[in-house]
Amino acid sequence: MSTEVKIPAVGESITSGVLSGWLKQNGDAVLDGEPIFSLETDKISTEVPSPASGSLQIMVAAGEEVKIGQIVAMIEAAEGAGKPAAKETAATATVTASAKADESAKEEAALSPAVRRLAAEEKISLGEVTGTGKHGQITKPDLINYLERPAKKGGEGLSSEASAKGELKQKPAPAPVADEAPSVPVFTDGRSVRRKMSPLRKKIAAQLVMAQQNAAMLTTFNECDMSAVMHLRSSYQEAFQKRHGTKLGFMSFFIKAVVDALHLVPAMNARIDGDDVVENHYYDIGVAVGTERGLVVPVVRDADKKTFAELENSVGGFAAKARDGKLQLDELTGGVFTITNGGIYGSLLSTPILNPPQSGILGMHKIQERPMAIGGKIEIRPMMYLALSYDHRVVDGKEAVTFLVRVKECIEDPTRLLLQG
């Protein structure tokens, strides 16, 4: 008996994707519900589980574009499955094999998607790799160290795709990479590398160009003194972390400040839809997260109703999901305003691009000590430049400046966030 493995529907507007990698090899035994391949679309990357238990027969190679509903593999049921065992020894053998397969599946499931993907691409036998993670779990650096050993693969190391990501320097290859199952087709002549854009990168590119072409985008700047927020964090960090199990970061303060400013300037919480202006009365705030695959913007729902701890847990959870490719489609849609923090990469100042159809995006930047005139005296203060890009079709300059000044006031005097003053 055979069971078809089809590309599942992952969203109303998504009709295709890229089968980015098989988590199992052709002919491997798989269990019902066990992840067997990764699907990458223009919005999310997800792992698809097996619809049945049996032997995996792969029909579509990794790296190929696939349509929703397309058959990419078959699951062949084990011979004699479902029939009563003729002998006790046969039953015992089946139970033993099932237990081993289950144990193997659990060990496989404990690995991160990045580890499974790299192991599949480089055809690494995980039994040969020594894990340094928690409880001996294999980590991505473990695989990289394994591949760096000169005795393995003739000292070739990682594929050129991994090298292009900066994971490991590799000797130039004179011919196209002939990996049997790359996540993205890669070609190199030793001087340059050519690969197809991933669906996510294509989507990001299209969104950025659309934002530039379809909106009257303008950016206004200000700076804020981070002394008060930094003092609060240092004073209450230990108690906050002990009580809530998470660190108190800067992002929760900025989300609170943005929500406060959106209340003050409703135009910033509006968008254009055809010939209409839609003004929102809810506060779902997008927080940009950088990943190896590109920038994604998960949305914190009802940010106005969340505490600082709930906001920090939401942002931290989204960051972990984004790194592991676990974000769901509904977590990436519906935001009314976006915050992006280039400061974590060292950016001192930038002009963020709108996230359509939103009308505003706030750019945070690096905190830098600078001499400031305070009460007629020069003092060294930790300062951050803020940048607000907005759609001038919806928001006037006065409203944009008022919004950004309100964010500045809330950060410089966080008690405003409690007293709404």
Selecting among 189, 302, 330, 396, the annotated active-site residue is: 396
286, 314 Cβ separation under 8 angstroms: no
Burial class (CB in 10 A: 0-12, 13-18, 19+), 216: exposed
- Side chain identity at residue 5, one-letter code: V
312, 300 Cβ separation under 8 angstroms: no
382, 398 Cβ separation under 8 angstroms: no
418, 247 Cβ separation under 8 angstroms: no
Selecting among 102, 231, 302, 392, the annotated active-site residue is: 392
Element (H, E) at 201: helix 199-214
- Clarify whether 365 is annotated catalytic: no
The secondary structure of residue 26, as a DSSP letter, is T
- 19 beta partners: 39
- Clarify whether 396 is annotated catalytic: yes
The DSSP secondary structure of 127-181, one letter per residue, reads GGSPP-SGGG---HHHHHHHHHSTTSGGGT-S-HHHHHTTS---PPPSS----SS
Contact partners, residue 11, CB within 8 Å, separation at least 6: 41, 43, 44, 329
Active site residues: 392, 396
